[in-house]
Structure 1
Amino acid sequence: MSSSEIEIVSDSNDQKNSGRNPSEVPIIDVYSASAYGDFEKLRKFVEEDGLSLSQPDGSGHYALQWAALNNFADIVQYIIEHGGEVNATNNAGQTALHWAAVRGSMAAADVLLQNGARVEAVDINGYRVIFEIVFRF
C-alpha cells in the first residue's frame, strides 16, 4: 500500500469538522476503536474481553497504525503499553510511524519515537518515513 492508498478516517484535532464522532460510528473491535479514538471501548476490548493489540486486522493493518494515522497519541501510548509492537509492519512494510507521517500526526509520531520507532524503516516501495513527510508537503 502506498501512502496515497492509506485511508484517513478521522483526526483527533478535527472531530468537529469530520462529521463523525465515535458514538456515531460502529466500534466493533480494537481497530475501529483505535481509528476513531474511542479510548473507553478500546480499554474494554483489551482489559475485559482480552483482545490482542499485537495482531493485524483482515487487511494486515495494526491498531497502532490506525491510532497513529489519526493522531490519537494517548491511544498510541496505551497500545504500546498493552502489547502493540512499535515497529510492526503491514503487508506494505509500513510502520505506524509511516502512517503518522502521512497525516502529519506529530503528537502520535512523538510517542512512537519515544518508544523506539525506527525512522529508517523502509516499506516495500523503498520509502522511508522522511519520504512520507516530504510527499505530504
Structure 2
Amino acid sequence: MRSSLSNDVYTSAAYGDKEKLQRLVESEGYSISDPDGHLSALNNRTAAAQYIIEHGGDVNAADHTGQTALHWTAVEGAIPVAEILLQVGARINAMDMYGYQVCILDTFIV
C-alpha cells in the first residue's frame, strides 16, 4: 500500500529519482510490477527504466488502456528508453484497446 505521492515508487520513477526508487523497492518492499511504472518511459528516464527492468518489471505489461511502456516511448519520442525496452524483448506489435501499435504511433521508427 502506498502512503503518499512524495514517497511513491511510481513518482520516483517518473521523476527519475533512482536513489529513492531503489530505497523504496529494496528497503521498504514496494512493488514495481504495476504498469504505472511506465511513467519512467513516458518521461524518458533511462536509469529508472533500467532499474525497473533489472528488478522484475515486465516490459510488456499493459496499463488500463492496453498500452505498454513501448507505446509511451513512441508517443513521447523517448528513443533512449525505447532502445532499452527493445533490447530486453518489448513487443513492437503489442496493440492497445484502440488497435494502435507502436509502429503507427506518431513518427516513431524502429
The TM-score with structure 2 as length reference comes to 0.89
Equivalent residues of 1:27, 1:41 under 8 A apart: no
- What is the correspondence of 1:103-118 to structure 2 with a 5 Å cutoff? 103-118=76-91
Map 1:53-132; keep pairs closer than 5 Å: 53-55=32-34, 61-63=35-37, 65-132=38-105
2:13 alignment partner in structure 1 = 34
> % of aligned pairs identical?
51
Partner residue, 1:8: none
2: distance between equivalents of 1:70 and 1:115? 19
Cα distance, 1:62 vs structure 2: 2.0
Q: Residue type of the partner of 2:102?
A: V
Structure 2 alignment gaps of length 5 or more: none
Deviations along 1:84-110, one digit per CA (max 9) or x if unpaired, are 001000010000000011110010000
Please state if 1:48 is matched with 2:34. Answer: no
Equivalent residue pairs, number: 104
Runs of 4+ in 1 over 4 A off after TM superposition: none
CA contact (8 A) 1:69 1:100 kept: yes
Supply the AA of the counterpart residue of 1:53.
I
Matched letter for residue 86 of structure 2: L
How many angstroms apart in 1 are the aligned matches of 2:68 and 2:19? Answer: 25
Q: List runs of 5+ in structure 1 lacking aligned partners.
A: 1-25, 56-60
For residues 94 and 22 of structure 2, the distance between their equivalents in structure 1, rounded to whole angstroms, comes to: 29
